[in-house]
Amino acid sequence: MFDSVKDSGERRDFETGSRRDVRVGKGRYDLLNPIVTKRLARHYENGAVKYGDHNWELGQPMMSYLDSCKRHLDMFQEGLRDEDHLAAAMWNIASMIYTGEMVARGILPEELNVMPVYTTKERFEDTVGRMTREFNERQRLCVVTQTREEFVTAMRERLSK
């Protein structure tokens, strides 16, 4: 399956004589601080205990993540230290990045990526109006149409395609 090493065509040479491909554009994982990743990993662990492994990867609306992120930042700013609010805010941002990417890849539904757009009056009226109509329709129905198990099964089927 893997019978070659990706090659950018550029090299970096080390004083020892060793050579390897350049790392430009690949991310600098060596710059990720272990203190930060440990706290974030702990938040993932706590969430997995409460909701199950990878539950959030089934998809949640971007606005839900944004709401939670802002709430955790405000709680931290207020001085509350009852939980790791900074790790929670970071988790929500990471979840937004993930959701946006999975929607762009066509794996998660576009509806999860709906956010108000404030750049022009037309775009604002379009997105906020649509979001308001959708919210009102959900409130009007006030009916859960799927059990959690049915939802999880449907999402797993979508992800396997």
Q: Around Cβ 124, how many Cβ atoms within 10 Å?
A: 13
Confidence of residue 46 (pLDDT cuts 50, 70, 90): very high
Are 22 and 12 in contact by the 8 Å Cβ rule? The answer is yes
For residue 70, is pLDDT > 80? yes
Model confidence, pTM: 0.73
Radius of gyration over every alpha carbon of the chain, rounded to an integer in angstroms: 21
For residue 144, is pLDDT > 70? no
Output the pLDDT for position 142: 55
Are 116 and 67 in contact by the 8 Å Cβ rule? The answer is no
**Which residue is it, tokens 């974030």?**
40
Output the pLDDT for position 24: 84
Helix/strand number for the chain, H first, E second: 5, 2
Are 51 and 44 in contact by the 8 Å Cβ rule? The answer is no
Q: Around Cβ 40, how many Cβ atoms within 10 Å?
A: 18
Q: Around Cβ 62, how many Cβ atoms within 10 Å?
A: 18
For residue 117, is pLDDT > 90? no
Mean pLDDT value across residues 7-19? 91
